[in-house]
Every structure is written in C-alpha cells, then in structure tokens.
Amino acid sequence: MDEKTNPVRWGVLGVAGIAVSKVIPGIQRSALSRVEAIASRSASRAEEAAARLSIPRWHGSYQDLLDDTAIEAVYIPLPNHLHAEWAMKAAAAGKHVLCEKPLAMSSAEAKEMVQVAEDAGVRLMEAFMYRLHPLWVEVRRLLAEEAIGDLHAVQVFFSYFNVNPDDIRNIARFGGGALMDIGCYAVNAIRMLFGNEPTRVTGAIKRDLGFGTDVMTSALLEFGERQATLTCSTQLETDQRVHIHGTTGRILVEIPFNIPSDRATRILVASGGEPPVASDIVVHEVAAADQYEVQADAFSRSLREGISVPTPPTDAIANLEVMERIVADAERSG
C-alpha cells in the first residue's frame, strides 16, 4: 500500500516541552506519519495539548495510550529515568518506539530495552535527530570524499546556562546533568565521525554541590592514534560547535545539534591559503530542513518498507558505555 495514503499512526507519551514545540509538529509535517493520540498523567494536560496541536484523541494515562489498538508507534519524551519502563511497556504492547536520548539511565538498562524490543518484534530507535539532517549527510559526504584528507581529530563543545532547581535537567535522580543531557550528543557525534569505539577514555567532571549533577564535563577519547575532545556544560554561555580536523583541511559545523528548521545552515571547509590568518574557506550552505520531520520520515519509512531503522538501537548501548567510561575515569582520578 502507498505509504502516503497509509501513514504510520503515532502516539505520544507525555507533554514535555520538546514534544509539543518541536517533535510533534515535525511528525505532523511528515507525509508518512500521523499523530493520532497523546497521553499525560494529567487528563487535563493531555486534553489541552491535543486541542492545541489538533491531535484527534487524548488519554489520561500512558497505559491507556498503549492500550489504544489504533496506535502503531510511540514517541517517548519522558524524563530519562522513565525511558526504560515505558519503552519496554510499549514494546510489550506491540508498539514501535522512538525514544528520546539518552535511551536509558545506563548501558545495562539499554541492553534490556533492546532485548525486549527484539523479543516483541518491534523497532526501537534513540532520537538523535541531528544525524539524519542534510547538514550531517553533507558532512559525511565531505569526509568520504577526503575533502580534508585523513580525519585525525574532532573537538565538540555544547553548553547552555540553567540553574533552575526544579528543572529535571538539574535533578540527579531523574538522569539530569550535562553529560546525560547534551554530552550524549558530543559522544554520539564523535563515534559517528570515527565510525568505531574509543580505545581509551579520560574524563573530568565538575559537579554542582547543591544539585549533585555534573555541570561541566570534559573528556578525551582516543581511537588508536586519532583523538577527540569534548566539553559540555549546563552552567556556561549557550554555544555549540563541532570542529573536524584532517591532514589537509578542517571543517567547522556551526550549528551541529539544535539545527534551525527555518533557515539554511553552514559547513565551513578550510584548506590551503595562508592559515591561520588567511585560510582558503569554502562555505557549503545546506537548505533549511526540519530535523524532526526528517526523523519521523525515516522511522515511519522503516516500518512501512520493513527495513531497519536508520540508527540501530545497539548504537545507544555503545553511546552509554562511553559515557559511563567518562564518569568512571573522572571518579577514579577525582
């Protein structure tokens, strides 16, 4: 059947800000997807969100949505500590699952989620939406064509400033902290660019004495003779950059993760000239695209065409394992 006339019927577990402001509108823009229902533990919040977003049905509990036989796939934007519970319940109910990052609170928990989904015969994917955006498709093309020679080093910086004690990103037991919230992007991007796992990991962590969460985490990841560094913070000026260095050039990805949907984005490739004062720079402008729509398209297409999701769930396990190695090394040396 034509996927455009038979879109995947989605349900959403929760009314988190990212869901109602970004992901649900992105799914709704996807020609291959249709948001049929939304759930919240508060019936009034579910009803309000459904009305505001023109979603046909709402449910006053997550389980009620999972019992909705019309729903094929669910998107889970719940706090980190609830990912495993509800992803596995969704899988047991026969629903395919797109779950916010990080997939779980630990790699062990993620392994259990992957196994439950496999046993239930449903798809499971971690929602690293940036990977699918044309911006990163172009970055990977440039690297494959050796636009900067051999890739040897990557630097990632990602930060924002938030000291609200009631924000779940500042609550340790809910999986808050810089590494879990945004450092996971840095680790993911580095692993994607190098195409394998680090042979050695060194970490450094600064914690908020009140919150108990990490407010600045840095790491050195070694991939044999190649290296990557990252710093993430929840208490620094907002910024994000990815620098990719090769033997004959370098790439700057200006807005690598929170890619705007309403404007073109740029990749700067520097090679030759008179660096560092007068490098030859080629600007690759990538047309605007909604990364959440692209993600929904890719996930829904995998269901309708019976193919694998673009990012296998085992990647989420590997990402968490690297994050755990960063924490373990920081604690040993701290």
Q: Which residues pair with 76 in a beta bridge?
A: 99
Q: Is 101 considered catalytic here? A: yes
Q: How far apart are the first and last CA of the chain?
A: 58
- 306: helix, strand or coil: coil
Q: Which residues pair with 204 in a beta bridge?
A: 218
Distance of CA 142 to the CA centre of its chain: 22
Count of other CB atoms within 10 angstroms of residue 97: 31
269 vs 280: CA distance, rounded Å: 8
68 vs 28: CA distance, rounded Å: 19
What length is written for the chain? 334
Nearest to 97 by CA among 291, 306, 313: 313
The amino acid that residue 305 corresponds to is E
190 vs 211: CA distance, rounded Å: 28
- Choosing from 22, 89, 95, 101, which is the catalytic residue? 101
Q: Which residues are catalytic?
A: 101
